[in-house]
């Protein structure tokens, strides 16, 4: 460790020294390097990104050539894709950006920040190209800051955060797409000539369909545990655009940034436009390796309370939907406590006085419905305390129903295109509030502030958003600035989240957007976790959670045991399998415990106790994805390995059942080859223990040869699943 630190310091010094001598800026993470050429008066070039370079590598790096790091529109190559396109104050459509000075290097607590000043030699337009390299995880963040001192406003027509060049070869890209109840479905494809665009224009929740992350496999078909791999995640809560451009050049280039279409940005003199950061991770250990790098960065630097363990919770939605009563809440709290759970969350349906909440009214009126809850929130927090569980509740503060006291009092707070009727969503009355308006921001903050001040025992808030921006326009913004609507919404929202977090740093917040609509690293600095999907069907969840795990760690993935038949798919799946899928993320329950049989209750209680035992490894360990459900091998398999490799947990889920099926062996990864591990099956359902139960094997054997997992339990082959705990014995 000491040697490593000395080496790292040496490398950093070399990087800076080379930077000052030859305009080369080299940034290093523990295992990777990013190198730029920034000669004063010249163009900024991207030279290298990959495994960490030595000082000797660096001394010859410019000989290998590079490519423009942040291409701008209009001069010399106006046909080329641009990261930045500006209409200057006099109408000129072209921009030139040259390095104005040496990079400014700032040493931060866990990172080094390089700020490279770029200036247009003719117009007073400035761009700072910023790169942050972490010293405790293999992630770099890249973004730009744009401002000017021209006589009047300029218009930004394109304003990418970064361009990531990947040398042309047999490169494949993995990315996620989907829809409500089918989020994070994975597509893997070779990159070919042309443009692959991944985008979102929802306006409110950018994770519902295509996701703002990609993973490049540089050595052909994506492999989970081998091959050079780069993951890139745009950290932004609003509309985005990722374009992978493959054309006449030697590179595939990822242009990543806020969606500029329908959003020209008028930038007044002196205002700084800061683009969201693009987080980039490199690994030579395949897709799982790149995921592990992003997960480590996420837990340590991006996710609220990322290194804290999460409670086992029961959320009331699928148990009672909006039929909330004091009795029903108390029964669920008691059942949760008996099962060993730790936190009860009351979902939608608890509020509205003049218009008691239904699907089509009451949203926006965050006063308790005292017909349903005569003793209010205080009564519920007291009940929760009596059962020894924490209490949380659901809100959807960016939204309202037109039938609400709020909209009657403040019709001007509804987001709508000026001089037009508003289009409504859920229940034909739901609308989005205009987060561009500072009064609305204050109001949204006050919802959380009032709840948390009045009821300090609220430990958790589920923050939902169930509607897209159906009409583009804001009554608050000037007519000439309507193109700012989407960006201003998210600036306003982020301001509120910042206020909430600075006043209530400890409350646990879940980001929900009709399911997984709010899964983005730009949201998570303010939130502890995301609701992965409204689809709680265990089989479909394997696919959804698999995709989500490409970019997000288990600690942030809310994953709940639900009813059978499942409420979304109608599929009947045994409790054991439902539990085993939910346990691979942040475990919770999304059903009425009263509907469990006695045997199911007992199994559930046993599994919750097991989960508490393995929680540090699942929530904070390193993920190794082993057999993908998308690979159609009849089984999906992943494991988590604790930081010191003393403990690991393997999740094995059989996906289909055919006679004469040959299932693969359970071959592991990430263990210490030279240690021995005892195998223990958790909450076993089969009458007979596994043949390997209690036996010890070396990490090497478990990884190279593996163990057999029999198909099915007790002669039943359908819906077999196994959770194995591996404990180092020497
Ligand atoms: C959304 C959420 C659900 C639930 C409902 C309540 O659909 O994703 O979990 O909270 O809203 O209306």
Q: Which residue is it, tokens 């609509």?
A: 517
Q: Which residue is it, tokens 């009355």?
A: 429
- Please name which of 466, 493, 546, 521 lies closest in space to residue 304, comparing C-alpha atoms: 521
Pairing of strands 586-590, 557-562: parallel
- For residue 346 and ligand 1, the question of a CB distance below 6 A is answered with no
Question: Each residue of 134-143: pLDDT tens digit?
Answer: 999 999 999 9
| 14 Cα: distance to centroid of ligand 1 (angstroms) | 53
Position 16 pLDDT exceeds 70: no
Position 58 pLDDT exceeds 80: yes
d(CA 507, CA 214): 31
| 394 Cα: distance to centroid of ligand 1 (angstroms) | 9
Please give the average per-residue pLDDT across 656-684, as a whole number.
Answer: 95
**Assigned token pair, 446:** 């006050």
Position 10 pLDDT exceeds 80: no
- What's the confidence (pLDDT) of residue 77? 72
Residue 7 pLDDT class (50, 70, 90 cuts): very low
Residue 12 pLDDT class (50, 70, 90 cuts): very low
Please name the residue whose Cα sits nearest to atom 1 of ligand 1. Answer: 514
| 514 Cα: distance to centroid of ligand 1 (angstroms) | 6
| 718 Cα: distance to centroid of ligand 1 (angstroms) | 31
Question: Each residue of 81-133: pLDDT tens digit?
Answer: 999 999 999 999 999 999 999 999 999 999 999 999 999 999 999 999 999 99
- For residue 213 and ligand 1, the question of a CB distance below 6 A is answered with no
Work out the percent of the chain whose per-residue pLDDT is above 90. 93
The pTM assigned to this predicted structure is 0.96
Please give the average per-residue pLDDT across 594-615, as a whole number.
Answer: 98
- For residue 537 and ligand 1, the question of a CB distance below 6 A is answered with no
**Assigned token pair, 523:** 């949201």
| 534 Cα: distance to centroid of ligand 1 (angstroms) | 7
Q: Which residue is it, tokens 């000395």?
A: 6
- For residue 534 and ligand 1, the question of a CB distance below 6 A is answered with yes
Three-state DSSP at 625 gives strand
- Please name which of 619, 613, 610, 617 lies closest in space to residue 585, comparing C-alpha atoms: 619
- Name the average pLDDT for the chain: 95
- For residue 512 and ligand 1, the question of a CB distance below 6 A is answered with yes
Question: Each residue of 336-375: pLDDT tens digit?
Answer: 999 999 999 999 999 999 999 999 999 999 999 999 999 9
Residue 716 pLDDT class (50, 70, 90 cuts): confident
Residue 8 pLDDT class (50, 70, 90 cuts): very low
Residue 2 pLDDT class (50, 70, 90 cuts): very low
Position 406 pLDDT exceeds 90: yes
| 691 Cα: distance to centroid of ligand 1 (angstroms) | 43
Pocket test for ligand 1, best of 348, 392, 425 (most atoms within 8 A of CB): 348
| 395 Cα: distance to centroid of ligand 1 (angstroms) | 10
- For residue 351 and ligand 1, the question of a CB distance below 6 A is answered with no
- For residue 514 and ligand 1, the question of a CB distance below 6 A is answered with yes
| 216 Cα: distance to centroid of ligand 1 (angstroms) | 33
Residue 659 pLDDT class (50, 70, 90 cuts): confident
- For residue 317 and ligand 1, the question of a CB distance below 6 A is answered with yes
Residue 710 pLDDT class (50, 70, 90 cuts): confident
- For residue 216 and ligand 1, the question of a CB distance below 6 A is answered with no
Which DSSP helix (H) or strand (E) runs through 140?
A: strand 139-148
Position 9 pLDDT exceeds 80: no
- What's the confidence (pLDDT) of residue 35? 98
Please name the residue whose Cα sits nearest to atom 6 of ligand 1. Answer: 348
**Assigned token pair, 656:** 């289909």
- What's the confidence (pLDDT) of residue 693? 97
Which pairs count as long-range contacts for 45-48, CB under 8 Å and 24+ apart, including other chains?
A: 45/69, 46/163, 46/165
Residues 6+ apart with CB under 8 A from 69: 36, 44, 45, 46, 129, 163
Q: How far is CA 100 from CA 42, 43, 44, 125, 274, in A?
A: 8, 10, 10, 11, 19
Residues 6+ apart with CB under 8 A from 714: 685, 686, 687
Strand partners, 395: 463
Q: For residues 588, 593, 596 and 598, what is the CA-based torsion angle, rounded to 10 degrees? A: 100
- For residue 395 and ligand 1, the question of a CB distance below 6 A is answered with no
Rg (CA), the chain: 26
| Residue 390 and residue 459 in contact, taking contact as beta carbons nearer than 8 Å | yes
Please name the residue whose Cα sits nearest to atom 7 of ligand 1. Answer: 514
Please give the average per-residue pLDDT across 531-537, as a whole number.
Answer: 98
| Residue 534 and residue 180 in contact, taking contact as beta carbons nearer than 8 Å | yes
Question: Each residue of 208-219: pLDDT tens digit?
Answer: 999 999 999 999
d(CA 440, CA 492): 9
Residues 6+ apart with CB under 8 A from 386: none
Please give the average per-residue pLDDT across 501-525, as a whole number.
Answer: 98
Q: How far is CA 389 from CA 180, 456, 698, in A?
A: 31, 15, 41
| 464 Cα: distance to centroid of ligand 1 (angstroms) | 7
d(CA 664, CA 708): 8
- What's the confidence (pLDDT) of residue 78? 61
| 393 Cα: distance to centroid of ligand 1 (angstroms) | 12
- For residue 217 and ligand 1, the question of a CB distance below 6 A is answered with no
Position 153 pLDDT exceeds 60: yes
Pocket test for ligand 1, best of 182, 534, 559 (most atoms within 8 A of CB): 534
Pairing of strands 458-463, 390-395: parallel
d(CA 579, CA 361): 35
| Residue 583 and residue 640 in contact, taking contact as beta carbons nearer than 8 Å | no
| 181 Cα: distance to centroid of ligand 1 (angstroms) | 11
Question: Each residue of 474-506: pLDDT tens digit?
Answer: 999 999 999 999 999 999 999 999 999 999 999
Q: Which residue is it, tokens 């690979």?
A: 631
Q: Which residue is it, tokens 């998570």?
A: 524
- What's the confidence (pLDDT) of residue 11? 42
């Amino acid at each position: 460790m000491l040697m490593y630190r000395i080496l790292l310091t040496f490398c950093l010094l070399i990087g800076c020294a080379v930077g000052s001598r030859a305009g080369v800026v080299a940034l290093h993470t523990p295992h990777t390097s990013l190198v730029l050429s920034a000669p004063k008066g010249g163009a900024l070039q991207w030279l290298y990104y990959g495994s960490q370079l030595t000082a000797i590598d660096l001394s010859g790096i410019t000989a290998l050539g590079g490519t423009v790091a942040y291409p701008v529109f209009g001069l010399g190559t106006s046909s080329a894709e641009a990261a930045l396109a500006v209409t200057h104050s006099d109408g000129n459509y072209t921009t030139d950006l040259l390095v104005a000075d040496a990079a400014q290097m700032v040493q931060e607590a866990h990172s080094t920040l390089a700020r490279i000043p770029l200036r247009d030699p003719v117009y007073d337009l400035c761009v700072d190209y910023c790169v942050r390299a972490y010293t405790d995880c293999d992630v770099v963040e890249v973004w730009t800051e744009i401002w000017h001192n021209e006589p009047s406003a300029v218009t930004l027509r394109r304003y990418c955060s970064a361009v990531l060049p990947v040398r042309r070869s047999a490169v494949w890209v993995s990315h996620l797409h989907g829809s409500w109840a089918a989020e994070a479905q994975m597509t893997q494809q070779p990159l070919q000539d042309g443009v692959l665009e991944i985008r979102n224009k929802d306006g409110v929740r950018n994770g519902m369909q295509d996701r703002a992350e990609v993973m490049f496999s540089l050595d052909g078909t994506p492999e989970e545990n081998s091959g050079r791999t780069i993951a890139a995640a745009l950290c932004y809560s609003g509309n985005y655009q990722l374009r992978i451009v493959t054309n006449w050049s030697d590179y595939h280039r990822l242009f990543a940034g806020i969606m500029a279409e329908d959003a020209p940005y008028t930038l007044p003199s002196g205002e700084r436009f800061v683009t969201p950061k693009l987080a980039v991770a490199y690994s030579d250990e395949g897709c799982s390796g790149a995921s592990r790098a992003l997960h480590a960065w996420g837990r340590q630097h991006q996710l609220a309370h990322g290194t804290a363990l999460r409670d086992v919770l029961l959320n009331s939605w699928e148990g009672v939907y909006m039929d909330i009563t004091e009795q029903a809440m108390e029964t669920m709290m008691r059942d949760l406590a008996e099962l060993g759970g730790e936190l009860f969350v009351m979902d939608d349906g608890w509020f509205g006085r003049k218009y008691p909440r239904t699907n089509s009214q009451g949203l926006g009126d965050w006063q308790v419905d005292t017909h349903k809850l005569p003793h209010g929130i205080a009564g519920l927090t007291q009940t929760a305390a009596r059962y020894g569980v924490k209490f949380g509740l659901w809100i959807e503060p960016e939204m309202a129903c037109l039938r609400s006291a709020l909209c009657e009092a403040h019709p001007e707070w509804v987001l709508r295109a000026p001089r037009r009727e508003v289009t409504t969503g859920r229940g034909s009355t739901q609308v989005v509030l205009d987060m561009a308006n500072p009064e609305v921001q204050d109001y949204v903050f006050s919802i959380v502030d009032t709840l948390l001040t009045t009821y300090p025992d609220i430990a958790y808030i589920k923050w939902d958003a169930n509607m897209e921006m159906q009409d583009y326009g804001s009554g608050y913004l000037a007519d000439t600035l309507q193109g700012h609507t989407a960006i201003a919404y998210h600036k306003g929202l982020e301001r509120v989240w910042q206020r909430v977090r600075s006043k209530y740093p400890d409350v646990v917040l879940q980001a929900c957007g009709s399911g997984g609509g709010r899964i983005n690293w730009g949201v998570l600095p303010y939130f502890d976790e995301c609701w992965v999907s409204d689809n709680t069907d265990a089989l479909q969840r394997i696919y959804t959670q698999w995709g989500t795990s490409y970019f997000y760690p288990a600690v942030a993935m809310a994953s709940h045991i639900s009813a059978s038949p499942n409420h979304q798919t109608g599929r009947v799946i045994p409790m054991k399998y439902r539990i085993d899928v939910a346990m691979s993320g942040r475990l919770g329950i999304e059903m009425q415990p009263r509907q469990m049989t006695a045997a199911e209750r007992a199994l559930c209680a046993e599994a919750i106790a097991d989960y508490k035992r393995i929680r540090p490894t699942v929530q904070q360990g390193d993920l190794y994805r082993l057999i993908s459900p998308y690979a159609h091998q009849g089984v999906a398999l992943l494991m988590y390995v604790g930081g010191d490799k003393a403990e690991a947990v393997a999740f094995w889920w059989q996906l289909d059942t055919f006679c004469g099926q040959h299932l693969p062996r359970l071959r592991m990864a990430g263990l210490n080859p030279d240690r021995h591990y005892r195998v223990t099956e958790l909450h076993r359902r089969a009458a007979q223990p596994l043949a390997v139960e209690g036996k010890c094997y070396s990490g090497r054997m478990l990884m190279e040869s593996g163990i057999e997992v029999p198909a099915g339990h007790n002669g039943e082959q359908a819906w077999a699943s196994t959770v194995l705990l591996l404990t180092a014995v020497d």
